Amino acid sequence: YGTISSCYSEGDVSGYYYLGGLVGRNYDGTISNCYAEGDVSGSERVGGLVGYNYSSNQVGYNLGTITNCYAEGDVSGYYYVGGLVGWNSGPITNCYSEGSVSGDYNAGGLVGYNESFASIFLDHTLSPNPEGTLYIKNNRLILPNEE
């Protein structure tokens, strides 16, 4: 239920599960304007920034949020491995990851596993390679029409 803002981590992290370059497990908290640069290696729920981002999805509350953050290190694991977040159930906005990702089950460049109700919004102004706006909702990629 806490807030982490305007901070960073540069060290490598290794262990078993709930591993992140900055936070292992974010439970209904808010993470904003943060980054992690080190490599992360583990087994389950491994992310470059956050291993497990949890949102209880209470009506009227914006919980388990990650905003304006990035991860640059390489991430490796077995289950639920993501360049930014290993397992996500909260909103992620204006974030990106740059390192390589390797995993056996549910691995992704940004998020290893995204719950069906969790949304990811990426504004091109924070992307290292601006191409437009990308939305991921209910595990589906949505590209808005160009005008």
Span 22-47, pLDDT tens digits: 999 999 999 999 999 999 999 999 99
**Measured between alpha carbons, how far is residue 73 from residues 48, 67, 78, 134 in Å?**
6, 18, 17, 22
> Is 53's pLDDT higher than 80?
yes
Q: Kindly indicate the confidence band of residue 121, based on its pLDDT and cuts at 50, 70 and 90.
A: confident
C-alpha 77, offset from chain centre: 15
**Strand arrangement, sheet containing 75-76:** 13-14, 40-41, 75-76, 101-102
Helix and strand counts by DSSP (H, E) for the chain: 0, 23
For the chain, the domains span 15-142
